[in-house]
């Protein structure tokens, strides 16, 4: 595999005359390769694939089956890929060669699986999950025989390290007493010395300033900031920089994006019918503001679980609390699910999964169908939590229409909350027109539905009746979208302050709110046909306990399980759920209690991961028994306890870790340390890390001088409002398409639209995680499509042209000065802007040669004056030189 360095990129560009390049793959030397399976891929398998295999396939296709049919075993990775008598069941990456995909599609009656006696064909959504899994390479962590727990030892499972309260071990003494700068350094150095190792040398100041800027605010330092840091020789030089960055509003944009990964933030529902969430951006802004204010982490969690139930001292605070509950509302949903009970249970399951992995770092959702196979989580505990969320009304606000059987209203916040709104007005004439159209379409829809129902009752199934049904469906969508527009504005025509979020359902003695289930101005009670077709009353309209569903199947309810929490953490301090409430407030209290050993550990480990590139527990979303053990548990427990004792301050924790000696190490190679610890789990050096997608894009905007630091109000999807993603049925006729979510804007990447299954290339190509899953750790890939994007994207080309202009303006030489004017100074300036360092002699010589070889005949103007031709050639040369800077490994990596 060819390695393309910055210098070889220059050579390719020069040889091509500056034309866009199509090259194979860029591989940076010295960068550790990816693990066989990324954590989010393993999570996808565990959540979406293994449960189906276990339930539908293992009876006949597992090592312990009485008779293995067709010689095929599906309970191990190798058995699945080797296949049986008919060939491989799964060929990673190839749907057409994977017999399992043919079988579940029922395309061949002789190989249709699961058989009818086992439930028949799988739901379309499950089939799509299997296709997605094969296309991503069929990630499968199973080795050897399938793990089957014959006898579950609850007490042994409870003894797992992360289920015990953290204990502060004495700060260890070390041989090199002068090396540690913080307490955490003592723990790290003691572990290294125990293996006869010592850390590498410190990073130089230029490397360190670039590292700390990207880690804390996600942007490169400016030249004056670099100069000030280099000249400051006092011991507090780094601390001054860190304190300034922690106080910057850019900190919340960088660290808020980390949490948005955990919160599976997106602006659409995903799944088979992908509807937009035009008001998700309020939750995004809440998260950014919370990190900027250094909101205590325990309070941050309580607000996201039960903000609507917390006391508030003002209407702005009350509005903030309600917006926070958007955490529970923004998940992916199967909007076209025809079974209201199945839909409600799936929404609750998604919320349980988000809380368990995002806040607790364990996989509670694995207990939906049976007792957890590895952690002490019985199925009853799962349904005790499910009752809490079935008693919660989730308001996500999608408009009623075709393929959306589960529309909901939003949460309306008072105008006095002072929150911004999309700058748009609905004028009286526009409102009158919309209301008239809604009334007319509603009458036509009702007539068509009535005629269609009457025809079906009389046995008339002619084409005319079918067409009436289709037209009625179209009208349902049109009415839903127009009503959504009307509901977007108040009586004066100004946008309402609307948000996604949750609230408790009514107590059992009360009637559910009819207003939440209006269809085209009609109460469901009077429009039974429409109500049945489009959701009907919710399956769980009141506060209730959940039945325990056998094998998780919606048609097999058992006894009801009282609402509650995980019994493995039960104590005398466990709060009791008040009658007539969902239990979310008590859940928030239980989850953030000091008696719960998980949340502080999970967040501390995440902070470490975001600063060092790898968590003390590598599986940052799973601290349960199927996850990794900590590389230094004493250090993790020390930090978790300190995090609690210092008021759950994220900024204090970040500050302490950045000022540690370990964080300030270089990334140089040490043969002895590498032989003993090749994964750098003991932190003998700072691991090289690729910048994430947002940092790469924002850095191009910053160094070109184009970055817009003023946060926008809303997002592109908010401006488009309700509609399907990639559908022509948008409220204004155009739908929400790739043009809607374009990244051709100068705002920071955290403000770009994030629609499930339709991400901007600048984010998707550089491993923005799947926004339907909790993702505390991003995959880092190095694939040809990234190089092709950097060398051919118009966005990158425009940024390169602007950087070239900035470099030339920095050393102006007049319009007719030609290519050679201030060439050495300009090359130096470009290197400082892009890499925060000067070029070395080899790089300087190569750059000079590039400009000497660049075709001087690249005249873009019509004038025949030599000076004009030279100016245009210089502009083209500098654009391509700067594109090479952006495409280089150094621009995308931190050392």
Answer with the residue of higher pLDDT: 813 or 804. 804
Give the pLDDT band of residue 521 (cuts 50, 70, 90). very low
pLDDT of residue 205: 96
What confidence score (pLDDT) does residue 669 get?
95
Using pLDDT thresholds of 50, 70 and 90, give the confidence band for residue 860. very low
pLDDT tier for residue 57 given thresholds of 50, 70 and 90: confident
**Mean pLDDT of the region 280-297:** 97
805-842 b/e (C-beta count within 10 Å ≥ 16 → b) = bbbbebeebeeebbeebbbeebbbbbbbbbbbbebeee
Q: Give the DSSP H/E element, type plus range, for residue 587.
A: helix 584-591
CA distance 239 to 200: 22
Segment of 165-169, 569-573, 720-724 carrying the highest mean pLDDT: 165-169
Instruction: Tell me the average pLDDT across 316-326.
Output: 97
- What is the percent of the chain with per-residue pLDDT over 90, rounded to a whole number? 55
- Concatenating the DSSP letter of every residue in 669-702 gives --HHHHHH-TT-TT-SSPPPEE--HHHHHHHHHH
What's the rounded Cα separation, in Å, for the pair 212 and 221?
A: 9
- Which residues contact residue 233 at a Cβ distance below 8 angstroms, ignoring those fewer than 6 apart? none
Collapsed DSSP state (helix, strand, coil) of residue 503: strand
| Distance of alpha carbon 39 from alpha carbon 17, whole angstroms | 42
Backbone phi, then psi, for 255, in 5-degree steps?
-80, -25
Tell whether the model's pLDDT for residue 572 goes beyond 80. Answer: no
pLDDT at 26: 38
Question: Cα–Cα distance between 244 and 240 in angstroms, integer?
Answer: 6
CA distances from 270 to 137, 470, 555 (A): 21, 24, 25
- pLDDT tens for 822-853 read 888 999 999 999 999 999 999 999 998 888 87
Which range is least confidently modeled, 26-30, 360-364, 705-709? 26-30
Report which listed range, 154-168, 460-474, 663-677, is most confident: 663-677
The residue among 249, 220, 254 whose CA lies nearest residue 694 is 254
For residues 550 and 43, which has the higher predicted lDDT (pLDDT)? 550
Q: Which helix (H) or strand (E) holds 558?
A: strand 557-561
Position 169 pLDDT exceeds 80: yes
359 within 8 A of 591, measured Cβ to Cβ: yes
Cα of first residue to Cα of last residue in the chain, in angstroms, is 23
Burial 407-438 (b: 16+ CB within 10 A, else e): bbbbbebeeebebebbeeebeeeeeeebeeeb
Determine the pLDDT at residue 445: 84
pLDDT at 869: 53
The overall average pLDDT reported for the chain is 85
- Residue 446 predicted with pLDDT over 90: no
CB 844 within 8 A of CB 826: no
- Token pair of 418 as six digits: 């002072």
Report for 83-92, 383-392, 410-419, 816-825: range of highest mean pLDDT:
383-392
Q: With bands split at pLDDT 50, 70 and 90, how would you rate the model's confidence at 486?
A: confident
| Banded model confidence at residue 25, pLDDT cuts 50, 70, 90 | very low
Q: Where is average pLDDT lowest: 364-373, 396-405, 867-876?
A: 867-876
Q: Quote the CA–CA distance of 722 and 407 in Å, as a whole number.
A: 11
181-227 per-position pLDDT tens digit: 999 999 999 999 999 999 999 999 999 999 999 999 999 999 999 99
Pairing of strands 546-549, 501-504: unpaired
The yes-or-no verdict on residue 14 having pLDDT over 90 is: no
pTM: 0.83
Query: Higher model confidence: residue 75 or residue 277?
Result: 277
pLDDT at 383: 96
Cα separation, 339 vs 360, whole angstroms: 30
Q: What is the pLDDT of residue 778?
A: 94
Tell how far CA 173 is from the center of its chain: 41
pLDDT value for 870? 67
Q: Who wins on pLDDT, 554 or 26?
A: 554
- Which helix (H) or strand (E) segment holds residue 609: the answer is helix 598-612
Residue with tokens 């276990």: 54
* Least-confidence region, from 41-45, 258-262, 284-288: 41-45
How deeply is 572 buried, as exposed, middle or buried, from its count of CB atoms within 10 A (0-12, 13-18, 19+)?
exposed
Q: CA 591 to CA 601: how far, in whole Å? A: 12
Q: Which structure tokens are listed for 410?
A: 């939003």
The reported pLDDT for the residue numbered 504 is 96
- Strands 392-395 and 497-499, how do they pair? unpaired
Rg (CA), the chain: 29
Asked if residue 8 has pLDDT above 80, the reply is no
Cα separations (Å) of 394 from 329, 505, 589? 6, 9, 20
SS (H, E, C) 602-660: HHHHHHHHHHHCCCCCCCCCCCCCCCCCCCCHHHHHHHHHHHHHCCCCHHHHHHHHHCC
Residue scoring higher pLDDT (551 or 564): 564
- Kindly report the length of the chain: 895
Higher-pLDDT residue of 536 and 304 is 304
The residue whose two tokens read 């488009």 is 720
**Distance of alpha carbon 805 from alpha carbon 874, whole angstroms:** 10
Residue among 337, 341, 310 at smallest CA distance from 323: 310
Please state, in angstroms and rounded to a whole number, the distance separating the CA atoms of residues 842 and 838.
Answer: 12
Cα-Cα-Cα-Cα dihedral of 837, 839, 840, 844, to 10°?
-170
Alpha-carbon gap, residue 14 to 881, rounded angstroms: 9
Would you state the pLDDT for residue 85?
Answer: 62
**pLDDT-based confidence at 530, cuts 50/70/90?**
low
pLDDT at residue 461 in the model: 66
**Confidence band (pLDDT; 50, 70, 90) for 378?**
very high
Tell me what pLDDT residue 18 has. Answer: 59
Q: Is the pLDDT of residue 167 over 50?
A: yes
The confidence score (pLDDT) of residue 2 equals 43
The residue among 63 and 718 whose pLDDT is bigger is 718
Beta strand segments in 705-800, E: none
Overall average pLDDT of the 340-349 stretch: 94
CA-CA-CA-CA torsion for 666, 671, 677, 681, nearest 10 degrees?
A: 10
Phi–psi pair at 546, nearest 5 degrees: -90, 140
Structure confidence at residue 3 (pLDDT): 45
- Looking at residue 36, its pLDDT comes to 64
CB neighbours of residue 225 within 10 Å: 16
Separation of alpha carbons 750 and 253, rounded Å:
7
Residue in 361, 368, 376 with CA at minimum distance from that of residue 149:
376
Question: Residues 84-96, buried b or exposed e (16+ Cβ, 10 A)?
Answer: beeebbbbbeeee
Cα 515 from Cα 537, distance rounded (Å):
11
Q: CB atoms < 10 A from the CB of 636, how many? A: 25
**Dihedral, 857, 861, 865, 871 alpha carbons, nearest 10:** -70
Pairing mode, if any, of strands 557-561 and 497-499?
unpaired
Residue 76: pLDDT band (50, 70, 90) is confident
Q: Which range has highest mean pLDDT (127-141, 510-524, 762-776)? A: 762-776
Q: Which pLDDT value is given to residue 588? A: 96
**Maximum Cα–Cα distance across the chain:** 92
Burial of 461 (0-12, 13-18, 19+ CB in 10 A): exposed
For the cut 60, the answer to whether the pLDDT of residue 525 exceeds it is no
Residue 512: helix, strand or coil by DSSP? coil
**What tokens does 114 get?**
């699961």
- Residue 856, pLDDT > 50, answer yes
pLDDT band at 390 (very low <50, low <70, confident <90, very high): very high
What is the per-residue DSSP string for 61-129?
Answer: SSTT-SS-GGG---SSHHHHHH-BTTB-S-BTTBSTT-HHHHHHHT-SGGG-SS-GGGT-SPPHHHHHH
- Dist. CA 822–CA 442, nearest whole Å: 71
Q: What is the pLDDT of residue 858?
A: 46
Check residue 231 and give its pLDDT. 95
pLDDT surpassing 80 at residue 865: no
Residue 306 has pLDDT above 90, yes or no: yes
d(CA 632, CA 635): 5
Buried b (16+ CB within 10 A) or exposed e, 651-666: bebbbbbbbbbbbbbb
pLDDT at 567 over 80: yes
Instruction: Give 651-682 pLDDT, tens digit per residue.
Output: 999 999 999 999 999 999 999 999 999 999 99
Distance of CA 462 to the CA centre of its chain: 48
Instruction: Name the 3-class secondary structure at 325.
Output: coil
């Amino acid at each position: 595999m060819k390695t393309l360095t910055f210098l070889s990129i220059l050579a390719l560009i020069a040889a091509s005359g500056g034309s866009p390049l199509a090259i194979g793959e860029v591989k940076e030397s010295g960068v550790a390769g990816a693990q066989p399976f990324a954590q989010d891929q393993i999570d996808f398998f565990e959540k979406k694939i293994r449960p189906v295999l276990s339930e539908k396939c293992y009876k006949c296709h597992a090592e312990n089956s009485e008779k293995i049919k067709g010689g095929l075993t599906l309970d191990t990775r190798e058995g699945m890929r080797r296949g049986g008598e008919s060939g491989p069941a799964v060929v990673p990456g190839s749907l057409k060669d994977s017999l399992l995909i043919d079988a579940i599609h029922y395309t061949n009656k002789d190989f249709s699986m699961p058989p009818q006696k086992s439930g028949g064909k799988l739901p379309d959504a499950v089939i799509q999950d299997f296709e997605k899994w094969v296309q991503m390479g069929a990630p499968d962590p199973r080795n050897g025989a399938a793990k089957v727990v014959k006898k579950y030892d609850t007490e042994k499972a409870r003894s797992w390290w992360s289920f015990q309260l953290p204990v502060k071990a004495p700060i260890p003494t070390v041989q090199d007493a002068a090396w540690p700068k913080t307490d955490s350094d003592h723990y790290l150095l003691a572990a290294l010395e125990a293996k006869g190792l010592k850390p590498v040398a410190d990073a130089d100041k230029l490397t360190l300033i670039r590292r700390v800027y990207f880690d804390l605010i996600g942007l490169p330092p400016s030249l004056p900031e670099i100069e000030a840091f280099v000249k400051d020789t006092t011991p507090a030089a780094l601390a001054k920089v860190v304190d300034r960055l922690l106080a910057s509003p850019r900190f919340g944009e960088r660290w808020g994006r980390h949490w948005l990964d955990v919160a599976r933030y997106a602006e659409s529902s995903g799944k088979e019918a992908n509807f937009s969430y035009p008001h998700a951006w309020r939750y995004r802004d809440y998260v950014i503001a919370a990190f900027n204010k250094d909101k205590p982490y325990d309070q941050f969690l309580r607000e996201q679980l039960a903000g609507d139930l917390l006391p508030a001292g003002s209407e702005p605070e009350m509005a903030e609390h309600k917006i926070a509950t958007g955490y529970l509302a923004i998940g992916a949903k199967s909007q076209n699910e025809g079974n209201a009970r199945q839909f409600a249970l799936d929404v609750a399951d998604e919320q349980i999964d988000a809380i368990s992995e995002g806040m607790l770092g364990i996989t509670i959702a694995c207990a939906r169908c049976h007792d957890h196979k590895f952690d002490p989580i019985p199925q009853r505990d799962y349904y005790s939590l499910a009752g809490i969320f079935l008693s919660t009304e989730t308001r996500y606000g999608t408009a009623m229409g075709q393929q959306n059987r589960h529309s909901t209203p939003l949460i309306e916040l008072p105008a006095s909350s002072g929150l911004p709104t999309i700058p748009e007005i609905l004028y009286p004439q526009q409102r009158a027109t919309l209301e008239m159209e809604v009334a007319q379409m509603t009458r036509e829809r009702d007539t068509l539905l009535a005629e269609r129902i009457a025809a079906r009752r009389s046995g008339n199934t002619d084409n005319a009746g079918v067409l009436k049904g289709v037209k009625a469906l179209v009208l349902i969508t049109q009415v839903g979208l127009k009503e959504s527009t009307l509901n977007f504005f108040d009586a004066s025509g100004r946008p309402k302050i609307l948000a996604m979020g949750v609230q408790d359902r009514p107590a059992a003695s009360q009637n559910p709110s009819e207003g939440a289930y209006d269809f085209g101005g009609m109460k469901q009670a009077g429009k039974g046909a429409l109500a049945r077709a489009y959701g009907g009353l919710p399956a769980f309209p009141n506060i209730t306990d959940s039945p325990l569903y056998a094998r998780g199947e919606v048609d097999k309810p058992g006894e009801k399980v009282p609402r509650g929490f995980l019994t493995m953490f039960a104590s005398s301090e466990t709060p009791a759920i008040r009658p007539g409430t969902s239990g979310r407030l008590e859940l928030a209290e239980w989850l953030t209690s000091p008696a719960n050993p998980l949340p502080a550990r999970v967040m501390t480990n995440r902070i470490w991961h975001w600063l060092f590139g790898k968590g003390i527990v590598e599986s940052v979303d799973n601290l349960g028994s199927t996850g990794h053990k900590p590389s230094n548990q004493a250090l993790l427990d020390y930090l978790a306890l300190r995090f609690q004792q210092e008021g759950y301050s994220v900024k204090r924790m970040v500050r302490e870790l950045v000022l540690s000696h370990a964080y300030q190490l270089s990334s140089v190679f040490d043969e002895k340390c590498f032989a003993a610890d090749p994964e750098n789990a003991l932190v003998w050096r700072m691991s090289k890390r690729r910048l994430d997608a947002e940092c790469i894009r924002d850095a191009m905007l910053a160094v070109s001088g184009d970055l817009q630091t003023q946060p926008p109000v809303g997002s592109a999807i908010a401006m488009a409002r309700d509609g399907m993603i990639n559908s022509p049925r948008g409220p204004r006729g155009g739908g929400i398409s790739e043009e809607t979510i374009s990244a051709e804007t100068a705002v920071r990447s955290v403000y770009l639209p994030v629609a499930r299954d339709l991400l901007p290339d600048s984010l998707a190509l550089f491993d923005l995680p799947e926004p339907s899953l909790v993702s505390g750790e991003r995959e880092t890939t190095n694939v040809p499509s990234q190089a092709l994007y950097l060398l051919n994207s118009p966005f990158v080309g425009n940024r390169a042209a602007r950087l070239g202009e900035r470099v030339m303006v920095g050393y102006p030489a007049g319009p007719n000065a030609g290519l050679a004017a201030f060439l050495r100074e300009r090359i130096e300036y470009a290197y400082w802007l892009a890499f925060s360092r000067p070029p070395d002699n080899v790089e300087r010589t190569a750059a000079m040669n590039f400009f000497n070889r660049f075709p001087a005949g690249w005249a873009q103007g019509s004038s025949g004056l030599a000076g004009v031709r030279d100016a245009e050639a210089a502009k083209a040369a500098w654009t391509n030189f700067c594109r090479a800077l952006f495409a280089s490994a150094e621009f995308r990596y931190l050392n």
